[in-house]
Copies of this chain bind each other. A is one copy, B any other.
């Protein structure tokens, strides 16, 4: 084994624990998930990461395409396939206005839903304001809302107490992370009845007959009830492949025992490979322009802190 390509960090952990001698000799790890990356940074902080690792989760193409653009479509797809809900006029709360939340909000607003946002981060909250969304606390709107979508990466964002106050026929689902965002465990109590009405769709029924529609038992809607377009898979796979090649070919010393972001030039390369699909034509810098901007004509074109 020369390299590890991981999604979640389980393989990395297993090799690290079971085969420490193999682990020490690999050329590098490429990790694509939030969780796996988190575990790598922890290993690094603890001084136990004895090989270079590439965090491809935070490359631009991954973040924007896998999260923003992909979720903009899969939220609609996931809701339609499971519930046939009409979006027009529906009151929706999106919890979290990161890339995933931004995608969900944009799509639902465009289709005529009335969307509000909850946020903990004032910068993202101000972005939500500028994009035309009311920033509210969930408790303020819980009784009126038709659909709640969680996109926070956090836990217990929707609590039993809030689920108790949702109205009959409302929908609750998770686009964020794992199955922690909705406190689903709190719904597994004797006084509530669960009725499976379709694959991935449960009606949770309160003693007074009220039904709340829970999708995918609180797991990720986009993975459970929608599909990932091949275009997005291609972006991700290309990024992973380039990261593996880079780690393998890198001259001694370029990467130490630490976690790295994919070099921007490779991020740009992944993007450029996918432009032809759209018949997009890049403009090339003239020598004079490249000199004026202080850039290499072939990139990278932006400083590392650029936000896109």
Residues of A at the B interface (CB closer than 8 Å) are 58, 60-61, 63-65, 69-70, 72-73, 76-77, 80-81, 84-89, 91, 99, 106-107, 109-115, 118-138, 140, 144, 153-156, 180, 226-227, 229-232, 261, 267-269, 271-272, 274-275, 277-286, 288-289, 292-293, 299, 301-302, 304-305, 307-308
A43 to B268: give the CA distance in the assembly, Å.
29
A231 to B268: give the CA distance in the assembly, Å.
35
A132 to B111: give the CA distance in the assembly, Å.
8
A88 touches B58 (CB 8 A): no
A132 touches B113 (CB 8 A): yes
Centre residue among A115, A138, A269, A307 by max chain B CB count within 10 A? A307
A154 touches B61 (CB 8 A): no
Residues of B within 8 A of A289 (CB): 154-156
How many copies altogether?
4
**Please, which residue of chain B has its CB at the minimum distance from the CB of A84?**
B227
B278 touches A85 (CB 8 A): no
* Known contacts A112-B69, A289-B156; A232 and B86 CB within 8 A of each other: yes
Residues of B within 8 A of A284 (CB): 120
A93 to chain B, nearest CB (A): 11
* Known contacts A69-B130, A72-B111; A308 and B123 CB within 8 A of each other: yes
A135 touches B72 (CB 8 A): no
* Known contacts A110-B111, A301-B121; A126 and B84 CB within 8 A of each other: no
A293 touches B126 (CB 8 A): no
A280 touches B135 (CB 8 A): yes
